[in-house]
Amino acid sequence: MAKLRQKNPRTVRQAEEVRGLEHLSMDVAVNFSKGAQLSNHIHNVCAEAKEAIYTREDDVKFWLEKGVDGSMFEVLPQTSDLPDLQRCKLCADRWKPCICSYSLSIEWYPCMLKYCKSRDAGGKVSSYKCGIRSCQKGYTFDYYVPQKQLCLWDEETQSQ
């Protein structure tokens, strides 16, 4: 796809395919100081969130199989562990632990090659690369916070 050039690069694009919403439960905290084992980019991308880097238990299992040091991960409390644990937007006490949500929508990204068909002089049909198909995708991340004070944007979102 890198070789394909986009015509009219300043045009505001609409996705051709909507891939829907994916709900992810971020149930493990990552130790920032050891995070470079996972990616060299963590120190740059997550610099402002040193105490709040989250991942999924499935991802931890993958990294452990690859030989990553397991001491960098801490399993967070789950709703089943703490029956009183609420979603932050429903929690009245700002100092109480809760489940925070963060939503992200990627409105347009290149997701696959697009092929077109043509006929040669003999009538034979052939396909060729003629562009990039674009997609849209949404994500909702849920994660534990020790106090609602760390999730104030959740008050601004609509209830689900």
8-22 b/e (C-beta count within 10 Å ≥ 16 → b): eeeeeeebeeeeeee
The beta strand positions in 35-148, using DSSP E, are 54-55, 73-75, 86-87, 98-119, 125-145
Mean pLDDT of 71-75: 91
Nearest CA-CA partner of 29 in 57, 62, 54: 54
pTM of the model: 0.73
Higher pLDDT: 32 or 2? It is 32
pLDDT score at 11: 76
Residue 9 has pLDDT above 60, yes or no: yes
Predicted confidence (pLDDT) per residue in 12-60, tens digit:
778 889 998 999 999 999 988 888 888 889 888 888 877 778 999 999 9
Please name the helix (run of DSSP H) or strand (run of DSSP E) that holds residue 28, with its range, or none.
strand 28-30
Residue 1, pLDDT score: 45
Encode 90-120 in three state secondary structure. Answer: HCCCCCCCEEEEEEEEEEEEEEEEEEEEEEC
How many angstroms separate the CA atoms of 108 and 22, rounded?
Answer: 16
Nearest C-alpha neighbor of 151 from the set 137, 160, 141, 139: 141
Range 131-146 burial, b when 16+ CB lie within 10 A, else e: bbebbbbeebbbbbbe
DSSP 11: S
